[in-house]
């Protein structure tokens, strides 16, 4: 199995590439944890002056992995809390707390958790193919990674509601 996140470093810029292109970089629990670990490493590394998060293939991130999302209804509440707070919410907390600029290089779909990661970054650079969507309502969920708070502040309430 390939690495869920690739790490590159050039001229003080650490690039973290979500590396599950066959699933449009959907986030598994493992991938979210690995990305968070790499963010912690970047924060602690004095050689890293900035971080770029991007996705391999045609998408930034299609959000949560569908296999994981299908398992959620049968999970114990404590396990859900552990996963959501320990893995997925760890990402925006690390991004927002980092004292180095973090750029989301959005090359395609940034949906659900993928959109929330992009929104949490300091800057978003979007290709012409970039698409953003908060699709949590379709899953019967509220945005669990800070999007309800951050998105309206960046794009206004009307556009955030549309997204």
User: Residue 65 burial (CB < 10 Å; 0-12/13-18/19+)?
Assistant: buried
Mean pLDDT of the chain, nearest integer:
89
Give me the average pLDDT of each 10-residue run along the chain (163 residues).
Answer: 93 98 94 96 98 98 84 85 81 95 97 92 96 73 68 79 73
- CA pair distance 155, 163, nearest whole angstrom: 10
In this structure, the number of other CB atoms found within 10 A of the CB of residue 127 comes to 11
The pTM score is 0.87
Q: Which residues are paired to 27 by β-bridges?
A: 64
For the segment 80-126, what is each residue's pLDDT rounded down to a tens digit?
A: 888 777 778 899 999 999 999 999 999 999 998 899 999 999 999 99
CATH number of the domain enclosing 28 = 3.90.226.10
Q: How many domains does the chain have?
A: 1
d(CA 99, CA 113): 22
């Amino acid at each position: 199995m390939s690495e869920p996140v690739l790490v590159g470093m050039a001229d003080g810029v650490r690039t973290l590439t979500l590396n599950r292109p066959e699933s449009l970089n959907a986030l598994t629990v493992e991938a979210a944890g690995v990305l968070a670990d790499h963010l912690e490493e970047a924060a602690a590394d004095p050689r890293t002056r900035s971080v770029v998060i991007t996705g391999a293939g045609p998408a930034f991130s299609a959000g949560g992995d569908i296999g994981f999302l299908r398992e959620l209804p049968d999970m114990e509440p404590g396990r859900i809390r552990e996963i959501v707070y320990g893995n997925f919410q760890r990402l925006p907390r690390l991004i927002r707390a980092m004292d180095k600029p973090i750029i989301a290089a959005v090359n395609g779909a940034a949906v659900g958790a993928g959109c929330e990661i992009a929104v949490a970054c300091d800057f978003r650079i979007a290709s012409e193919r970039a698409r953003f969507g908060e699709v949590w309502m379709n899953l019967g969920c509220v945005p669990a990674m800070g999007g309800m708070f951050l998105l309206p502040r960046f794009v206004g309430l009307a556009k955030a509601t549309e997204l």
